[in-house]
Amino acid sequence: MTEPLPPPSGVELMDVRRLRLVEAAAPAISPEDRLAMNRVWEETVQANPSLFDGPVAACAGLERDGPHSLVLSWARTTYRRYALRRVPGATAWLPSLFVSVVQPTADGRLLVGRMSSSTATPGRWQLPGGSVEPPDDRESLDEAALRRHAARELVEETGIDTPPDDLTLWLVARGKRGSVGVLFLAPSRPASLVHERFGALVSAETALGRDPELDRIALVRSQAEVAGLAGSHVDYLEPVVRRYAETVLGRDA
């Protein structure tokens, strides 16, 4: 029997061995909230014209189904709906759903990247990854699909090509505002290879006249190093770095 999780009081990291995804209907938006949502979205696009109102899978609920098993409900919507977060009193907003890859190096550090100016969150440090896209009618959104999506995000953002089957489901992170991230652990790579692949990716994107999604990467091994990064970072980043050091490396962070 599943058990709904209480609202988050801070960043929560959940050890997961099994993840079941269930599609749900997105809650209806009142006419008043829709008008406000559209106004906020248009203002956001004016500030950053690279944004687009494409399809996205949002988190509609999260429940426990055993000690290391979760049921994640998701709903089809578009990026415009996330503007509801900035509408006072709106009740039909949905938390975001994303995948991330925890990419270690052989010397025990983790790869983090800074979002470029053309993205929705310029200057923010985070793990490689991105928002989950809804499948078409002939496919299902399951753990395997998330693993493939995570592998695709990793190579697109860092140049590191890892087979999806080499990614291990590790954690589910829930942020202070309810956003849910499914984190996969990748095999360790030499630090020199990480820098080499990222440099080659940036050169290739620049030659094509495109901005890479990440404009800079760093390798960190502690919360102090995360805190020392210039600029903002996602709320789950420091807890993930600490958890990796404690559980995988067996050392204090």
Domains and CATH numbers, the chain: 3-248 (3.90.79.10)
C-alpha 1, offset from chain centre: 28
pLDDT in tens, the chain (253 residues): 566 676 666 899 999 999 999 999 999 999 999 999 999 999 999 988 888 899 999 999 999 998 899 999 999 999 999 999 999 999 999 999 999 999 999 999 999 999 998 888 889 999 999 999 999 877 889 999 999 999 999 999 999 999 999 999 999 999 988 899 999 999 999 999 999 999 999 999 999 999 999 999 999 999 999 999 999 999 999 999 999 999 887 766 5
β-pair partners for 95: none
Burial pattern 66-89, b for ≥16 Cβ within 10 A else e, equals eeeebbbbbbbbebbbbbbbebee
DSSP, collapsed to helix, strand or coil, labels residue 116 as coil
Contact 147, 167 (CB under 8 A): yes
Distance CA 221, CA 253 (A): 8
* Identity of the residue numbered 60: A
Q: What's the DSSP call for residue 109?
A: -
Contact 178, 122 (CB under 8 A): no
Structure tokens at 232: 């903002």
Q: What's the DSSP call for residue 120?
A: S
